[in-house]
Every structure is written in C-alpha cells, then in structure tokens.
Amino acid sequence: MALLPRSLHSSWLGPHQRSLQATRVLLRLMFGPAEARAIRTRLWDGSEEGPAEARLTLVLKRPGALRRMLLPPSDLSVAEGYLYGDYDLEGDVEVLMAQGAAIAERLFQPKTILQLLPLLLALPAHDHPLRPKYVSPLQGEAHSKHRDAQAIQAHYDIGNEFYALWLDERMVYSCAYFPSGQETLEEAQRIKLDRICRKLRLKSGEHLLDIGSGWGGLAIYAAQNYGVQVTGITLSPAQLGVARKRAEAAGVTDRVTFELRDYRDLPHQTFDKIASVGMVEHVGRAKLPGYFAEAHRLLRPGGLFLNHGIVPAITPPFFQVGAKLIEGYLSKHSFMQEYVFPDGELRPLSELLGYAERVGFEIRDVENMREHYALTLREWVRRLERQHDEVVRLTDEVTYRIWRLYMAGSADSFAAGRIGVVQTLLARPTADGNASLPLNRTDVELASGQLDSDQAEPAN
Ligand SMILES: C[S@@+](CC[C@H](N)C(=O)[O-])C[C@H]1O[C@@H](n2cnc3c(N)ncnc32)[C@H](O)[C@@H]1O
C-alpha cells in the first residue's frame, strides 16, 4: 500500500510543490466541515482556500509549519509554531481554540494517524530554529517562597507599561463583572471591585488584608469608597511601585499600605476582612491547606474571607486515568506552564472548599462567574491586538503572541466550561456562632448602571 497519496508520487513534483501538496492534503484531513467553514487558509506561496467570510485565516508561512505543529502533537508544539512565526493567525484567534478539540479528536483516530504520518514526514524538518527557552527555568523546590517569587516575577514584571496598554484604567488583572454584558471594561472592573467590597460587608474603620494586591485596584477602591484601612501584599516589585504611586495620587496613603511580601510571611496580626483575588492559582496543591490555614489564622473571629480564583472542571470518571497521565505531562510541558504561568496550578472547587472547611471556615456564598471571564478576556485580547505595534516596541513579537494566544485560549476555555472562576465567601464565626452576615444577599446584588460615578455611596 502506498502511504503517500498518488498525487505526491509524481516524479515531476519538486520539493517545493511536494510540500504545498502535502500541506493541502493535511489540512483537508485536519479540518471537518465546521472548521472548513470557520477557517480560511493561506500557504506560503500565497494560495488560499476556504470561505472569504471566515472569521480566522490560518497563514502557514513555511513548508515545515505543520510538521513542527504536529510532531510531537502537543499544545506546546502548536503554540511554539505560532510564537516563532511558522504561522500567523489573522482575525479571531479564539476560533482556532474553539475548533481545536474537534481537530485533535479527528487527528488522533488510528486511521488518520496512519495517513498523517507519511505526509508530515514528507514536509521539510524544522527549517527555522526555535528560540532558546523563552522563560528561564525556575530554581529551587516548587512553591518554596524563593521559587514562587521567581514565578511571579516572570509573569508580572515584564513591564507595567505593557500591562497598562490593555488592562482597564485601574489595572485590575482578574475577571470583571458585566451585569448586562454591555458594560465597558472600566465599568465592569469597577462593578466587580464593588461587589467584592459588598460581599465582604466592609465597614468604615475595618482593616482589610488584600493577598495578591496586584497594581492596587481593590485596595485603593475599598479605602476610597468604604473607608477601610488596607494592607496589600504582592510578590512583584514592578506592581508594588505602581500600587504605591497610585495610592499616593489617590490621596489614601494614610489608609493603604502595600508591601512586597509572601502570604506566608505576615506577622502575628489579625484582620477584620481578607480578600484574595486571582492569587490562589499560584499557591500549588501541596501548599493549599497551609494557605487556607494562614488566612484563618489572620482573620479575627467574626471576620470574612473572599477567595476568588480559577478552577478546572472535573473530568468524568471514565477519563480520569487518562486525564491524570495527561495532567502529569502537561504540568511539565504545557504552553501555559512553559510560557505563561510557570508553576501555576488549578485545583477543583470541591478540593479548595474541602481545605477551607478543614481549617474551620464556614462556606457562605459561592459564585461561578466564568461567562464574565470570557467577556473580560475578549476585551483584553481586543485591546492587546489594537496595541500590537506599541506592545512590540515595549517587549517583542514573541511576548505579544504569548499573551494573545493565552488570553484567547482562556476565553474559549471559560466559554466552553473547561474552566471556571469562582468567588467563595468564607466566614470565621465567633465562638457563639455569629458569622456577621445579613439574613439575605440583596445588599450584594446590584443592577448595572447603579454605580454611575466615582463618588458612589459606600454600602455601609
Ligand atoms: C493575577 S494577579 C491579581 C492581582 C489583583 N488581585 C487583581 O485582581 O488585579 C495575582 C497576584 O498575586 C500575587 N501573588 C502570587 N503569589 C503570591 C504569594 N505567594 N504571596 C503574595 N502575593 C502573591 C502576585 O504578586 C499578583 O499580585
């Protein structure tokens, strides 16, 4: 049986034509009808296929492009092909992610693998070297304080100006809240911050600890609008500098302090309320019981802790063995680990809640806001794309591509329900059982547009 399609055997085909032909056959094998409708393709000779109205054009720029993407088949290979310019993505990147699962499923059929391999091997091997590891490997034991600081700096210290180009004006780097879906990112972030303050039932004069305070958005907002004292901690020196300047500009330095500090290094002191927004993803499975224990220790009886973080959907039992193997492999070799969040770890909500309960927290309110994160990420991607030239001037093309791919991919994962983002309100009741919460949650709910100015009335 001839392994290559007949058309590729023709003796008159030079290597150039042969690569073009093999690539066209490969694309037809990869794409089912849905992908063929959604994705247009352009090869390095300028030839195009697919509907003109497609939302995405996949531009293969080198004859070896598909070979490097698919050998070995992993999300890392696919991502690196894009990062280093084997292919471009024109239009809506999320389309590729949305079709990715169907494409992968089709490619992993034994019959397809037999058809694919000879075609891939007919393409030239990598004719364009990958850059050396973009993120330098972290040193030390996973989730030691020393190594966590390196992991955080690798992601957050690439430049305040870079983040300012596409985040909202407060530079909030976590899921926003869009009550109607029509809000601007600025409004939605502000509504999110206010909801956190409301869920925590912040009252004037209380002391709030913000674990993972980022560029200072929540701390400053809470001090300005709820009259609280705030201590914010971050592991990123770049964030710290901006947060302090912003507190100064807002005139709240008497009430807001930012420190470069690990959550495990807080002195013996108690707080009335604690918030942790977009930070728990960095803690690591082994350290999660200690993380919740630390929050419990730092909270006064009668205090509240709001933990906001990303959680993965649980794989159905049938797939669990396979999922464990894949998880083990991906935890070392995924695009997200290698290029985006080194040492980041997502744990299921049920597991997080279990740790929280075991240290004595009472679970009072759980809200999954995954649709809101898809909206937030799409807005970040749009802004990043609009700022392409400026992003490249401040960083480089690879950084632009890393962030574009990671954020579009995450938007699709939230929209599809592969991951969620959950705000959990945990109480540490007093000895006589008082959790300091009202009988209903109407004080939290807020119609869109109710917050119409920076002088919004405090909720207390
Ligand atoms: C995704 S950012 C979120 C920032 C902010 N909460 C927001 O919503 O904009 C995560 C934050 O967690 C902080 N962080 C991560 N690990 C930490 C640790 N071990 N101790 C203290 N802060 C940490 C990072 O420095 C960063 O400020």
Q: 47-58 pLDDT, tens per residue? A: 999 999 999 999
Cβ of 216 below 6 Å from ligand 1: no
Residues 202 and 263 in one domain: yes
Residues 76 and 160 in one domain: no
Q: Which amino acid is at 403?
A: W
Mutate to test the pocket of ligand 1, among 138, 191, 221, 234 (most ligand atoms within 8 A of CB): 234
Q: Is 283 within the bounds of a domain?
A: yes
Locate the ligand 1 atom nearest the alpha carbon of residue 217 and give its number: 9
Read off the pLDDT of each residue in 304-312 and give the average, rounded to a whole number: 97
Residues 284 and 417 in one domain: yes
pLDDT at 14 over 90: no
How far is Cα 182 from Cα 9, in angstroms, rounded to an integer? 56
Structure confidence at residue 448 (pLDDT): 42
Cβ of 281 below 6 Å from ligand 1: no
Enumerate residues 6+ apart whose C-beta is below 8 A from 29: 106, 107, 112, 115, 116, 119
Q: Is 27 within the bounds of a domain?
A: yes
Residues 360 and 223 in one domain: yes
Q: Is 139 within the bounds of a domain?
A: no
pLDDT in tens, 125-140: 875 656 555 667 889 9
Q: Is 127 within the bounds of a domain?
A: no
Residues 201 and 114 in one domain: no
Residues 112 and 209 in one domain: no
Q: Is 458 within the bounds of a domain?
A: no
How far is Cα 262 from Cα 145, in angstroms, rounded to an integer? 7
Q: In this structure, what CATH number is given to the domain that contains residue 229? A: 3.40.50.150
Residues 211 and 347 in one domain: yes
CA-nearest residue for atom 23, ligand 1, is: 212
Enumerate residues 6+ apart whose C-beta is below 8 A from 433: none
**Containing structural domain, residue 437:** 145-445
Q: In this structure, what CATH number is given to the domain that contains residue 57? A: 3.30.1050
How far is Cα 135 from Cα 281, in angstroms, rounded to an integer? 19
Mutate to test the pocket of ligand 1, among 189, 213, 256 (most ligand atoms within 8 A of CB): 213
Q: Is 74 within the bounds of a domain?
A: yes
pLDDT at 193 over 50: yes
Q: CA-CA-CA-CA torsion for 199, 200, 205, 208, nearest 10 degrees?
A: -140
Q: Is 457 within the bounds of a domain?
A: no
**Residues found in the chain:** 460
Residues 283 and 399 in one domain: yes
Residues 276 and 335 in one domain: yes
Structure confidence at residue 457 (pLDDT): 45
Locate the ligand 1 atom nearest the alpha carbon of residue 174 and give its number: 8
Q: Is 453 within the bounds of a domain?
A: no
pLDDT in tens, 82-120: 998 999 999 999 999 998 888 888 888 888 889 999 999
Structure confidence at residue 446 (pLDDT): 59
Contact 184, 448 (CB under 8 A): no
Q: Dump the DSSP string for 34-53.
A: HHHHHEEEE-TTS-EES-TT
Å from CA of 331 to ligand 1 middle: 21
Count Cβ atoms below 10 Å from residue 313 Cβ, excluding itself: 15
Taking alpha carbons only, the member of 340, 363, 336, 337 closest to residue 352 is: 363
Domains identified in the chain, total number: 2
Residues 258 and 182 in one domain: yes
Cβ of 341 below 6 Å from ligand 1: no
Read off the pLDDT of each residue in 244-262 and give the average, rounded to a whole number: 98
Structure confidence at residue 334 (pLDDT): 86
Residues 108 and 162 in one domain: no
Reported pTM: 0.92
Residues 152 and 114 in one domain: no
Cβ of 309 below 6 Å from ligand 1: no
CA-nearest residue for atom 10, ligand 1, is: 279
